[in-house]
Amino acid sequence: MNEKNQALIFELSKEGRTGHSLPELDIEEMDMDELIPSQHRRKEEPELPEVSELQIVRHYTALSRRNHGVDSGFYPLGSCTMKYNPKINEDMARLSGFAHLHPYQEESSIQGALELMYKLQRSLEEITGMDQVTLQPAAGAHGEWTGLMLIRAYHEANGDHQRTKVIVPDSAHGTNPASAVVAGFESVTVKSNERGLVDLDHLREIAGEDTAALMLTNPNTLGLFEEQIVEMAEIIHEAGGKLYYDGANSNAILGITRPGDMGFDVVHLNLHKTFTTPHGGGGPGSGPVGVKQDLVPYLPAPLIIQDKDKYRFDYHIPESIGRVKPFYGNFGINVRAYTYIRTMGPAGLRKVSEYAVLNANYMLRRLEPYFDAPYTQHCKHEFVLSGKRQKKLGVRTLDMAKRLLDFGYHPPTIYFPINVEECLMVEPTETESKETLDEFCDAMIQIAKEAEESPEVVQEAPHHTVIDRLDETTAARKPVLRYKKEA
């Protein structure tokens, strides 16, 4: 990545160039004024670029070279599960029989798609230990909101209108409290103890008649398993609340333990994390939701059911919360996830989690002499370090993250979870080799040494990227959110 400034595609535009080949109009052209009266018609044309096909190819190729993906190099971004995105998934999703289906085709003409969705529902139910899965939610946060709306509908059906609070740990993903509010709840924080786990005494204190649900990630965002999950489930269930499982960290538990068996009532999965569908630079994802039997009546319609040797949509869900998304979810993403599940099978999925956990523990032990490790127990698929020691030397976690860019790595998640000072959160995933983990650890150790011996090297990083640190303050104070052609 050493290219200079890349022009905007608008700056490449020249009047009269074209990059398309539309079909010829094969009917007799009618007068546009007679079809759509001129008062409805556009007066000024939108400034889309006029470029040739090769210019487009060069432009986007140049942009891609200014971007780092999993295929470019190690991407240990905690809580994001940046594992390898298998190529076959991409091929399968592009089969015409999947890519070019219209959502309003007759059921009889999309039996293969329905079969795939049905089998994916069943597989995800088995993996999570839940009774019914809906594939409708588009992403993790969308799944959270859907799940909370289901819980709300359940409580309201029981006349429990006073259950207005959703309990969220202080280490939770930002989407948890945000989803709670969007679903009409108030978000209440439960504290973590010195071992990084939910403080059970505090949970007992705040759980009560107003509790709608507890949202929990397990392993939690510190990468630690909530050992007392069974007791927590009891506390919440005795108070009359429901347990919500944020599946962002499912990569640690496949075939090892299941949210349904831990006592959770609702689960969402991020297929773009655990099930290898690509993150796409921010999306699209897919966030299926699974529930226990007592919440099934509230699921969004339609579900896919098997009816003898046929598959069909079931719209008959009278108490449903209603639709959360048009059509049937992000089908194209679900095809990829199903392809992955069929690639791995039960034994493979279990190995995924075993190796994800082994890799994380290995890195933790290699790195803990050089950084502060706030929690000493075995981690699951990810772990946190604190840059407190380096901060005293004038080197911030942000600086170390930027320095890692010089080594060709995407840095770990930083400053999250918010309850760990100068936090670095590392998630290696199972698809990385020991050699890669070792090289990364060596780089981290070198940076820790630089912080002691030549801190400016770290403070002024990155040194080898296409661009230096950007002025984010001005970006926010005087926002320029679009290009405008100079008059």
Q: How far is the CB of 307 from another protein (least distance, A)?
A: 15
**How many positions of this chain bind another protein (CB under 8 A)?**
203
C-alpha 190/C-alpha 188 separation (Å) is 7
Binding positions for another protein, 187-246, rule CB under 8 A: 187, 224-225, 227, 229-230
Binding status of residue 474 toward another protein by CB under 8 A: yes
Binding positions for another protein, 15-44, rule CB under 8 A: 17-23, 25-27, 29-30, 32, 35-37, 39-43
DSSP string, 126-191: HHHT-SEEE----SHHHHHHHHHHHHHHHHHHTT-TT--EEEEETTS-THHHHHHHHTTPEEEEE-
Instruction: Give the contact letters, 362-401, x = binds to another protein (CB under 8 A), - = no.
Output: x--xx----------xx----------------------x
Residue with tokens 């429990």: 160
Applying CB under 8 A, among 2, 5, 159, 308 the residue interacting with another protein is 5
Helix (H, G, I), strand (E, B) or coil at 215: strand
Applying CB under 8 A, among 74, 78, 133, 140 the residue interacting with another protein is 140
Q: Which stretch binds another protein (CB under 8 A): 97-105, 208-216, 387-395, 447-455?
A: 97-105
Binding status of residue 154 toward another protein by CB under 8 A: no
Binding status of residue 358 toward another protein by CB under 8 A: yes
Whether the CB-CB separation of 229 and 214 falls below 8 Å is answered with no
Binding status of residue 178 toward another protein by CB under 8 A: yes
Q: How far is the CB of 454 from another protein (least distance, A)?
A: 19
Q: Which is nearer to another protein, 316 or 323 (CB)?
A: 323
Measured between alpha carbons, how far is residue 157 from residues 10, 160, 316 in Å?
A: 55, 7, 18
Query: Which ranges constitute the DSSP H helices of 306-433?
Result: 331-367, 388-391, 397-406
Q: Which is nearer to another protein, 433 or 453 (CB)?
A: 433
Applying CB under 8 A, among 130, 133, 149, 151 the residue interacting with another protein is 149
C-alpha 367/C-alpha 361 separation (Å) is 10
Binding status of residue 262 toward another protein by CB under 8 A: yes
Binding positions for another protein, 46-65, rule CB under 8 A: 46-51, 53, 56-57, 59-65
Q: Which is nearer to another protein, 203 or 380 (CB)?
A: 380
Binding status of residue 465 toward another protein by CB under 8 A: yes
Q: Which is nearer to another protein, 56 or 393 (CB)?
A: 56
Q: Which residues contact 334 (CB under 8 A, 6 or more apart)?
A: 116, 117, 120, 135, 271, 286, 288
Torsion angle of C-alpha atoms 426, 431, 435, 438, degrees rounded to 10: 10
Binding status of residue 150 toward another protein by CB under 8 A: no
Binding status of residue 159 toward another protein by CB under 8 A: no
Alpha carbon 252 to its chain centroid, in Å, reads 15
C-alpha 413/C-alpha 207 separation (Å) is 31
Whether the CB-CB separation of 79 and 249 falls below 8 Å is answered with yes
Applying CB under 8 A, among 158, 162, 376, 433 the residue interacting with another protein is 433
Question: 171: closest CA among 226, 118, 131, 237?
Answer: 226
